[in-house]
A and B are shown apart, each in its own frame.
Chain A
């Protein structure tokens, strides 16, 4: 059983409410942090090795250290709760079941960054969660953890929740800032980075929900102790939202020393593949990261065990590896069609492209159409190379990473499952009736019923 730093009390009766949360040791990190200097807190976060949990994995302490502090200009912390990456539903779980953990992390982080007004930008579809967060904020304020002169420290802080309105792109931090300003979610050209010019041109730090919640154990344990959990540059714990064809979909907190095999097959986590089928493929970190066939998922190309951490999941680069990403873990069994699955993702990215950059706006539409043709038996052999060519021309040629995010799943599907695409083209009628590649890519282990 791995150590739980975030979800230890998530199942406790009434933990959503202040009294229970406080009894379980809640808000201790605020008491500790307000006796420290903001600089000392940033140092602890740096020492902890905590990396952004939204997808990019950028070191949080380093990001915080970039914030500009011009005289007389307010600074803002913005919590990115625009969780929209297909396969990802961990932040929702955290906000829904243990909202005070996020509020606690926000207060400490606001103090460290000098943000007197902090915003939570939450995706619009999570329409019932702002009520839960606002209840937690009101309770925290009623108990002196928010408002003026918190614990006599002289630090003032208010937290507000803003709902988005349906746009994946607003998970990109500069698009989120635009949206918070009441505009279309068009990403900004960087530089200037938000740390210099963010919301209303003020210095701004945007961090993911899970990242900000993890500040609580970082402060409680101290950066050095936190860094001892996990392995290498994958410190602390990570929330994984597991879904697809598994027995136990859900949100799991892992310490990053367990293997992918253990995560999928042990009863503590996913509980194996559903309906006694075999594992065919997996997207380990949200829809944007490369899909891997079973053999490359469980072992690296060098034949070493693959682990659930940043370094091991990306071992082999995009040729034979993938990424930790957002922790959205999508498992496909032997009956799933990679072409069709990739088509739904291409449709998703076409739908979500903001339209600013031509390679992404046009390219995602073309990829969707071509994939739909192949999936429905109307594809040509040359379409596969055309798809490859389009994704290559999107990647790296857009203002924001949505272009890359749209290109990578298509590239990986062709890289690892090219014969499945070819089979669709060669068997236009049969591909509508059944899927190709059943046991070919599937994990060869004995299936335990």
Chain B
């Protein structure tokens, strides 16, 4: 378990943003990097990050378990995080969540057998004017309809096939 050279360089840059001796501040960004590289945060990954930042492992565990974006178990290659809070709900997010579940054959919180998709419901992501919406990787997919959901699933399957 080790960061790539590129990621290690990034870690140094992040630490340099904070005063000397305050490298604990780099923890959230470094956990994001770890998740980018390893897909989720295993105990082993968290211990590695702890050593890298000269922290006690528990300092990493308590943070990793607090914030909702850190995956504490493996997730599919494509993580559909669909907002279900009030403004999305009144624009039909319940139907969208049900439709995605039906299309993928999974319930929220589950991953497809082929490991490609995970469906997760999340709370307000700040896209209320463009509801219903979901996060997919770094970006938002907004104004979701059943057709758009179909197209997104198709796009992911094509990407996965092209990368194999």
A residues contacting B by CB (< 8 A) are: 74, 83-89, 92, 117, 119, 123-128, 160, 162-168, 179-185, 200, 241-245, 249-251, 283, 287, 328, 330, 332, 336, 340-341, 344-345, 347-348, 351-352, 354
Offer 29 A-B interface pairs, CB within 8 angstroms, sorted by A: A74-B19, A83-B126, A86-B85, A86-B128, A87-B86, A87-B87, A87-B128, A89-B126, A92-B127, A117-B19, A125-B69, A128-B139, A162-B28, A162-B29, A164-B28, A165-B68, A166-B68, A166-B69, A167-B67, A182-B28, A183-B59, A184-B66, A200-B22, A243-B128, A243-B129, A287-B85, A336-B90, A341-B90, A348-B85
Which chain A residues lie closer than 8 Å to B79 at the CB level? none
Q: B86 touching A242 by the CB < 8 A rule?
A: no
In the complex the two chains form, is B126's CB within 8 Å of A348's CB? no
The answer to whether A243 and B131 touch across the interface, beta carbons within 8 angstroms, is: yes
Q: Give the complex CA separation of A83 and B125 in angstroms.
A: 9
Tell me whether B151 is interfacial, beta carbon within 8 Å. no
Most buried by B among A86, A160, A242, A245: A86
8 Å CB contact of B86 from A126, A200, A344: A344
Q: Which residue of A lies closest to B60 (CB)?
A: A182
Cα separation A128 to B141 with both chains bound (whole Å): 13
**Residue in B31, B86, B90, B122 with the greatest tally of chain A CB atoms within 10 Å:** B86
* Cβ B126 vs Cβ A181 within 8 A: no
> If the complex has contacts A87-B87, A89-B126, A182-B63, are A165 and B28 also in contact, measured as CB distance less than 8 A?
yes
CB-CB under 8 A from B37, the residues of chain A are none
**In-complex Cβ contact of B67 among A74, A84, A164, A200 (8 A):** A164
A-B contact count (CB 8 A): 143
B84 to chain A, nearest CB (A): 7
In the bound complex, CA of A352 to CA of B122 (Å): 11
With a CB–CB cut-off of 8 A, which chain A residues contact B9?
none
| Chain B residues bordering chain A, tally (CB within 8 A) | 40
Q: Tell me which of B25, B32, B85 contacts A345 (CB under 8 A).
A: B85
Given A86-B86, A164-B28, also A328-B128 (CB < 8 A): yes
Cα A163 to Cα B33 with chains together (Å):
11
Query: A291's closest neighbor in chain B, by CB?
Result: B86
Contact A184 B63 (CB under 8 A): yes
Q: Are A180 and B86 in contact (CB under 8 A)?
A: no
Most buried by A among B25, B87, B123: B87
With A165-B28, A179-B28, A347-B84 already in contact, 8 other A-B pairs whose C-beta atoms are closer than 8 Å: A85-B124, A86-B87, A86-B123, A87-B87, A128-B138, A165-B32, A249-B129, A330-B90
Q: A119, A162, A182, A244: which has the most chain B beta carbons within 10 Å?
A: A182
| Known pairs A84-B124, A162-B29, A168-B123; A183 contacts B63 (CB<8 A) | yes
* B66, B84, B130, B131 pick with most chain A CB within 10 angstroms: B66
